[in-house]
Amino acid sequence: MVEEYISKKVKSIIFSLQSPKMIKQMASAKIVTPELYDKEGYPVDGGLMDVRLGVIDPGLKCKTCGYKLKDCVGHFGYIELARPIIHIKFVNLVLSILRSICKDCGKPLAPPEKIESFGKQLKNAKEIGGQEAVRNKVKEIIKYLKTQTKCPHCNAAQLKITIEKPTTFIEDNKRISPIEIRTRLEKLDDEHCKLFGMHPDFAKPDWAILTVLPIPPATMRPSITLESGERSEDDLTHKLGDIVRINQRLFENINAGAPEIIVEDLWDLLQYHITTYFDNAVSQLPPARHRSGQPLKTLTARIKSKEGRIRHNLAGKRTNFSARTVISPDPYLKLNEVGVPMVIAMKLSVPERVTEWNIEYLKTFVDRGPTTYPGANYIVRPDGKKKKITSETKEALLEEIQPGFLIERHLLDGDISIFNRQPSLHRMSMMCHRIRVLPGKTLRLNPAVCHPYNADFDGDEMNLHIPQTEEARAEAEILMEVQTQLISPRYGLSVIGCNQDSLSGLFLLTKEGTTMLRKDAINLLHTIGIEDTSKLPTKDTVTGKEVASVIFPSDFSYSGYSKLYKKPKQGEANTNPKDAIVLINKGKLTSGVLDKNNLGEGKGLLLRTIHKKYGAEFAAKQLYQLFRLGIEYLTIHGFTVEFSDTDLPTEAKEHINQTLNDGVEQVKNLVKMYMNGELEALPGKTERETLELKILEVLNKARNTTGKIVEKEAVDSCTLTMVKSGARGNFLNLAQMAACVGQQAMRGKRIDKGYANRTLSCFRRGDLGPKAHGFIRNSFRSGLSPSEFFFAAMTGRDSLMDTALRTPKSGYLYRRLANAMQDLRVEYDRTVRDSSGRVVQFIYGSDGLDVSRSSGGTIDVKSIINTVCNIQAK
Amino acid sequence: MAHEELFKGYEQTLPEHILKDIRENLPDKVNKAEVKEILEITQTEFDAALVDAGEAVGIVAAESIGEPGTQMTLNTFHFAGVAEMNVTTGLPRLIEILDASAAPKTPMMEIYLKAPYNKGKDIKKIAHKIKETKLKELISEFSINVLESWIAIVPDKKKLADLDMDIAKIKKLIEKGLKVNVEIDDDKLIIKPKDETLSEMHKIKEKIKGVYVSGLKTINHVLPIKREDEFIIVTAGTKLQDVLELDFVDPIRTTTNDVKEIASVLGIEAARSAIMIEVLKVINSQGLNVDIRHIMLVADIMCVSGLVNGITRYGVVSEKSSVLARASFETPLKHIIAAALSGEEDKLTSVIENVMLNQPIPSGTGLPKLMMKD
Q: What is the pLDDT of residues B203-226, one digit of tens each?
A: 777 777 777 877 888 888 888 877
Flag if A814 and B67 touch (Cβ within 8 Å): yes
Q: Dihedral sign, CA of A113, A118, A122, A125?
A: positive
Of A871 and B139, which is predicted with more confidence? B139
SS (H, E, C) A374-425: CCEEEEECCCCCEEECCCCCHHHHHHHCCCCCEEEEECCCCCEEEEECCCCC
To the nearest whole angstrom, how far is the Cα of B150 from the nearest Cα of chain A? Answer: 31
Flag if A851 and B291 touch (Cβ within 8 Å): yes
Question: Which chain B residues are Cβ-neighbours of A825 within 8 angstroms?
Answer: 54-58, 362-364, 367
Please state the domain extents for chain A: 23-85+213-303, 89-212, 322-484, 500-637, 646-794
To the nearest whole angstrom, how far is the Cα of A863 from the nearest Cα of chain B? Answer: 10
Residue B81: its pLDDT value, please? 43
Q: Which CATH number fits domain B133-214: 3.20.20.450, 3.40.47.10, 3.50.50.60, 3.30.1360.140?
A: 3.30.1360.140
Give the chain A residue whose CA is nearest to the CA of B12.
A847
Global pTM value: 0.89
Optimal mutation site among B7, B22, B30, B57, interface A, most CBs of chain A within 10 A: B57
Q: What is the CATH number of domain A23-85+213-303?
A: 4.10.860.120
To the nearest whole angstrom, how far is the Cα of A121 from the nearest Cα of chain B? Answer: 16
SS (H, E, C) A98-131: HHHECCCCCCECCCHHHHHHHHHHHHHHHHHHHH
Please state the domain extents for chain B: 4-48, 53-80+88-104+262-307, 133-214, 320-366
Residue A2: its pLDDT value, please? 47
Query: How large is the average pLDDT for residues A91-117?
Result: 83
The answer to whether the beta carbons of residues A485 and A448 sit under 8 Å apart is: no
Of A531 and B178, which is predicted with more confidence? A531
Residue B82: its pLDDT value, please? 47
What span, in angstroms and rounded, lies between the C-alpha atoms of A57 and A765?
A: 76
pLDDT digits (tens, 9 = 90+) for A181-239: 888 888 888 888 888 888 888 888 888 888 999 999 988 888 888 888 778 888 888 88
Flag if B333 and A89 touch (Cβ within 8 Å): yes
| Domain A322-484 CATH class label | mainly beta
**What burial letters (b/e) apply to B288-304, b meaning 16+ CB within 10 Å?**
bbbbbbbbbbbbbbbbb
Phi, then psi, of A433 in degrees rounded to 5 = -120, 160
Of A7 and A705, which is predicted with more confidence? A705
Confidence band for A871, pLDDT divided at 50, 70 and 90: low
Flag if A823 and B350 touch (Cβ within 8 Å): yes
Of B211 and A735, which is predicted with more confidence? A735
Pair type for strands A443-445 and A337-341: antiparallel
Fold of A646-794: Topoisomerase I; Chain A, domain 4 (1.10.132)
Q: Dihedral sign, CA of A831, A837, A839, A840?
A: negative
pLDDT above 70 (res A873): no
pLDDT digits (tens, 9 = 90+) for B37-82: 888 888 988 998 999 999 999 999 999 999 888 888 766 555 544 4
Q: How confident is the prediction for chain A on average, in pLDDT? A: 87
Residue B78: its pLDDT value, please? 52
Optimal mutation site among A816, A854, A869, interface B, most CBs of chain B within 10 A: A816
Q: Which of B57, B62, B350 is nearest residue A832 as measured by Cβ atoms? A: B57
Residue A547, H or E segment: helix A544-549
Q: How confident is the prediction for chain B on average, in pLDDT? A: 83
Concatenating the DSSP letter of every residue in A233-275 gives --HHHHHHHHHHHHHHHHHHHHHTT--HHHHHHHHHHHHHHHH
Flag if A865 and B26 touch (Cβ within 8 Å): yes
pLDDT above 60 (res A779): yes
Residue B1: its pLDDT value, please? 53
pLDDT above 80 (res A142): yes
Q: What is the CATH number of domain A500-637?
A: 1.10.274.100
Question: Which chain B residues are Cβ-neighbours of A859 within 8 angstroms?
Answer: 18, 21, 42, 45-46, 49
Percent of all residues in chain B with a pLDDT value above 70, rounded to a whole number:
95
Q: Dihedral sign, CA of A142, A144, A148, A151?
A: negative
Q: What is the CA radius of gyration of chain B?
A: 30
Query: How large is the average pLDDT for residues A596-607?
Result: 81
To the nearest whole angstrom, how far is the Cα of A861 from the nearest Cα of chain B? Answer: 6
- Which residues on adjacent β-strands are paired with residue A494? A487
What span, in angstroms and rounded, lies between the C-alpha atoms of A699 and A742?
A: 8
pLDDT digits (tens, 9 = 90+) for A416-433: 999 999 999 999 999 999
Flag if A861 and B42 touch (Cβ within 8 Å): yes
Q: Which of B63, B351, B355 is nearest residue A425 as measured by Cβ atoms? A: B63
Question: Which chain A residues are Cβ-neighbours of B69 within 8 angstroms?
Answer: 810, 813-814
Percent of all residues in chain A with a pLDDT value above 90, rounded to a whole number:
28
Residue B76: its pLDDT value, please? 58
Residue A710: its pLDDT value, please? 87
pLDDT above 90 (res B24): no
pLDDT above 90 (res B300): yes
pLDDT above 80 (res A608): yes
pLDDT digits (tens, 9 = 90+) for B87-128: 788 888 899 999 988 888 888 888 888 877 777 777 777 887
Residue B271: its pLDDT value, please? 94
Flag if B50 and A848 touch (Cβ within 8 Å): yes
Residue B167: its pLDDT value, please? 77
Q: Could you report the predicted ipTM of this complex, rounded to two decimals? A: 0.88
Flag if B67 and A198 touch (Cβ within 8 Å): no
Question: Which chain A residues are Cβ-neighbours of B162 within 8 angstroms?
Answer: none
- Which architecture does CATH list for B320-366? Orthogonal Bundle (1.10)
To the nearest whole angstrom, how far is the Cα of A316 from the nearest Cα of chain B? Answer: 8
Residue B83: its pLDDT value, please? 46
Of A324 and B314, which is predicted with more confidence? A324
Question: Which chain A residues are Cβ-neighbours of B321 within 8 angstroms?
Answer: 130-131, 835-836
pLDDT above 50 (res A327): yes
Flag if A848 and B52 touch (Cβ within 8 Å): no
Of A873 and A691, which is predicted with more confidence? A691
Residue A477: its pLDDT value, please? 94
Residue A609, burial from CB neighbour count under 10 angstroms (0-12, 13-18, 19+): buried
Question: Which chain B residues are Cβ-neighbours of A311 within 8 angstroms?
Answer: 328
Flag if B221 and A832 touch (Cβ within 8 Å): no
pLDDT digits (tens, 9 = 90+) for A644-664: 888 888 888 899 999 999 999
Q: Which of B26, B45, B301 is nearest residue A821 as measured by Cβ atoms? A: B301
What span, in angstroms and rounded, lies between the C-alpha atoms of A584 and A586?
A: 6
Per CATH, B133-214 and B320-366 having the same topology is answered no
Residue A420: its pLDDT value, please? 96
The answer to whether the beta carbons of residues B275 and B268 sit under 8 Å apart is: no
What span, in angstroms and rounded, lies between the C-alpha atoms of A192 and A185?
A: 11
Residue A874: its pLDDT value, please? 41
Q: At what angle do helices A500-510 and A718-725 cross, to 10 degrees?
A: 100
To the nearest whole angstrom, how far is the Cα of A40 from the nearest Cα of chain B? Answer: 40
To the nearest whole angstrom, how far is the Cα of A593 from the nearest Cα of chain B? Answer: 25
Start-end of H helices in chain B: 4-8, 16-25, 32-48, 57-69, 90-99, 123-130, 157-162, 167-178, 198-209, 240-245, 259-266, 268-285, 292-303, 323-327, 332-341, 351-356
Give the chain A residue whose CA is nearest to the CA of B28.
A869
Residue A5: its pLDDT value, please? 59
Flag if A825 and B338 touch (Cβ within 8 Å): no
pLDDT digits (tens, 9 = 90+) for A782-838: 999 999 999 999 999 988 888 888 889 899 999 999 999 999 999 999 999 988 888
